[in-house]
Amino acid sequence: MNSRDSEHMIAELNRKEPYELTTTLAEADLIIINTCSVREKPVAKLFSEIGVFKKRRKDGAKIGVCGCTASHLGKDIIKRAPVVDFVLGARNVSKINDVVDTKHAVEISTDYDESSYDFAEYRSNSLKAMVNISIGCDKSCSFCIVPATRGDEISIPSTLIVGEIAKAVKGGAKEVMLLGQNVNNYGRRFGSDDEKCDFVELLRKISSIDGLERIRFTSPHPLHMDDKFLEEFASNPKICKQIHVPLQSGSTSLLKEMKRGYSKEWFLDRCRKIRELAPDASISTDIIVGFPGESDDDFEETIDVLERVRFEQLFSFKYSPRPHTPAAEYQNQVDPTVASERLSRLQARHTEILDEIMDAQLGTIHQVYFDELKPNGRIAGRSDDGKLVFVEGSEELLSQIVPVKISKASRGALDGIVVDHP
C-alpha cells in the first residue's frame, strides 16, 4: 500500500515540475519519508532517520513525512523535529502539491475522499502494476491502528480501476496487483450511491481486459471468503493461485478479543475449501504472538493451524501496543520474553515446513513471468503461485511468461532452466 502511495506522490509531483528519483542523499532537493505505524519500531526509526537526513542532506533540501505515522502524529512530528517541512497523511497523498511548498503544512484528515481522484501515472516497474481498489478500513481489530490512520473504507469506482489497468497494460504490464485493506469487501461503500459492483464482479471485469494475463490481490479478509469468491479465485484462469489469508491467532477466544469476526473452525474450513477448489494454490498468512491474554493453550492453537494449513509464507509479529487501539489498554499484557520465545518457536517450525515445500519443487515446471533483470546474467520472475524464480538469461526474457523447470531450491527462491522458449 505504501509503495503504491509513493508512486502516487511521485506522479502528482511530476504534474507540477519534473522530479527525478535519486539514490544519492546529498543530491536530493526533496526527501520524502513514507512511514508505517502498524508496529512501534518503525515510528521510533522515523525520528532517528530524520536526524540522519538533517545532517547529510543537501543545503536547503526539504523533508516531508508522509504515511500512517504522519496521520497519527500529525503536527507533533514538526514539534519534535522542526526540520520537517511538511506532514502528509496516508489518506491525503493526492494533496502533495498543496503541502510541498508550504513551510510546516500538515494535511492528515482521515475523512478525505480520494476514492474517485484520478492520479497521474507513475510506475516503478512498467511490467507489473499496483492498483488500489479501495482505501481505508471499516474493521475494528482491537490491535490495529490502520482504521485510525487510513479512515473509513471506500471503494474506488470500477470504471476508474478498469481504465487504470487498461492504461498500465498498454504501457507493458501483463500483471496487476489489486490493493486494499480488505479487498474482498470491495463494493460495500462507494463515494457515490450509483455505483454497484462487488469483488467477484470486479475481478470478472478486470479479467476481460485484453493483454492482461495475471491478477493478484492483497489482502483479503478471512471473514469475507464466501464460496462465491473462492470459486471465482479457483476457476478464473487469470487469477494467480496465491492467496493471503491473515490468521492473526489460532485461538477462537483470542480471535474474539481481537474482534476478527471468525473462529478457528471457520478459518480452517476456508483453507480446506481453497485446497479443495485450487489444490496447487499457495497460502500465506499473518500471525501475531503475545496478544494480551494469550495463554500457552492459545498459542498451541496457533501452532495447530500452522501444522494443518502449512502456510508457504508466514509474516509473524510480536504484538506491539498501539495508540488509538483498545488492546493497548488491556490489563493482561503478555511478558515480552514469553512472546519472544513463542515467536521463535513459531518461526522455527514454519522454516521446517517451508523447506519441505521448497524441496518438493525440484523437477517441477512453473510458468514464470520475468519482470526483473539481475546482475551476473540472471533474470528473476514469479511463478503463478507467487514463488520467486531465477534463471540465467537476459533482456529477451523480460516481460515473457515461460515454462521453467526447477533445478535448485532454497528457502527464499528457486533456480531453474527455461524448458520451452520460442
User: Which of ligand 5AD, ligand SF4, none lies near 139, with the C-beta cut-off 5 to 8 A by kind?
Assistant: ligand SF4
Q: In angstroms, what is the minimal distance from the CB of 140 to ligand SF4? A: 6
Q: Can you say how many angstroms the Cα of residue 421 is from the centroid of all Cα atoms in its chain?
A: 32
**Binders of ligand 5AD: how many residues, by CB under 6 A?**
12
Which cell numbers in the block locate residue 159? 470504471
Give yes or no for residue 38 binding ligand 5AD (CB under 6 A).
Answer: yes
Q: How far apart are CA 70 and CA 217, in angstroms?
A: 26
Q: Which of 127, 129, 144, 414 binds ligand SF4 (CB under 6 A)?
A: 144
Inter-residue contact 239 to 207 (CB < 8 Å): yes
Give yes or no for residue 256 binding ligand SF4 (CB under 6 A).
Answer: no
Q: How far apart are CA 415 and CA 407, in angstroms?
A: 6
- Mention every residue, 6+ apart, whose C-beta is less than 8 A from residue 25: 31, 53, 56, 57
* Start-end of H helices in 74-195: 76-80, 96-99, 146-150, 158-170
* Residue closer to ligand 5AD (CB basis): 139 or 238: 139
Q: In angstroms, what is the minimal distance from the CB of 62 to ligand SF4? A: 30
Q: Can you say how many angstroms the Cα of residue 337 is from the centroid of all Cα atoms in its chain?
A: 29
Q: CB burial class (10 A; 0-12, 13-18, 19+) of residue 199? A: buried
Give yes or no for residue 287 binding ligand SF4 (CB under 6 A).
Answer: no
For cell 474506488, the residue is 156
Q: How far apart are CA 222 and CA 264, in angstroms?
A: 11
* Residue closer to ligand SF4 (CB basis): 220 or 381: 220
User: Which of ligand 5AD, ligand SF4, none lies near 231, with the C-beta cut-off 5 to 8 A by kind?
Assistant: none
Which cell numbers in the block locate residue 415? 533456480
User: Which of ligand SF4, ligand 5AD, none lies near 147, with the C-beta cut-off 5 to 8 A by kind?
Assistant: ligand SF4
Give yes or no for residue 320 binding ligand 5AD (CB under 6 A).
Answer: yes
> Of the ranges 113-121, 140-148, 210-218, 379-387, which one interacts with ligand SF4 (CB under 6 A)?
140-148
| Residues numbered 75-134 forming contacts with ligand SF4, rule: CB under 6 A | none
Q: How far apart are CA 31 and CA 339, in angstroms?
A: 36
Q: How far apart are CA 214 and CA 157, in angstroms?
A: 21
For cell 469487501, the residue is 185
* Residue closer to ligand SF4 (CB basis): 146 or 339: 146
Q: How far apart are CA 405 and CA 364, in angstroms?
A: 6
Amino acid at 259: K
Q: Which of 325, 306, 322 is nearest to 314 (CA)?
A: 306
* Residue closer to ligand SF4 (CB basis): 65 or 90: 90
* Residue closer to ligand SF4 (CB basis): 135 or 168: 135
Give yes or no for residue 139 binding ligand SF4 (CB under 6 A).
Answer: yes
Q: In angstroms, what is the minimal distance from the CB of 19 to ligand 5AD? A: 30
Give yes or no for residue 201 binding ligand 5AD (CB under 6 A).
Answer: no
Amino acid at 367: Q
Amino acid at 77: I
* Residue closer to ligand SF4 (CB basis): 147 or 292: 147
* Start-end of H helices in 25-100: 40-56, 68-73, 76-80, 96-99
Element (H, E) at 336: helix 336-359
Site string for ligand 5AD, 103-142 (x = CB under 6 A): ----------------------------------------
| Residues numbered 157-186 forming contacts with ligand SF4, rule: CB under 6 A | 181-182
Q: Which of 119, 262, 319, 369 binds ligand 5AD (CB under 6 A)?
A: 319
> Of the ranges 135-143, 234-242, 340-348, 404-412, which one interacts with ligand SF4 (CB under 6 A)?
135-143
* Residue closer to ligand 5AD (CB basis): 1 or 77: 1
Q: Which of 87, 73, 81 is nearest to 32 (CA)?
A: 87
Give yes or no for residue 39 binding ligand 5AD (CB under 6 A).
Answer: yes
Give yes or no for residue 147 binding ligand SF4 (CB under 6 A).
Answer: yes
| Residues numbered 202-261 forming contacts with ligand 5AD, rule: CB under 6 A | 246, 248
* Residue closer to ligand 5AD (CB basis): 41 or 421: 41
Is there a cis peptide before residue 140, judged by omega within 30 degrees of 0? no
Give yes or no for residue 147 binding ligand 5AD (CB under 6 A).
Answer: no
User: Which of ligand 5AD, ligand SF4, none lies near 319, with the C-beta cut-off 5 to 8 A by kind?
Assistant: ligand 5AD
At 182, is the secondary structure helix, strand, or coil? Answer: coil
Which cell numbers in the block locate residue 248? 492473526
Q: What is the DSSP letter of 335?
A: P
Query: By the criterion CB under 6 A, which residues form the site for ligand 5AD?
Result: 38-39, 143-144, 246, 248, 286, 288, 317, 319-320, 322
Query: By the criterion CB under 6 A, which residues form the site for ligand SF4?
Result: 137, 139, 141, 144, 146-147, 181-182, 221
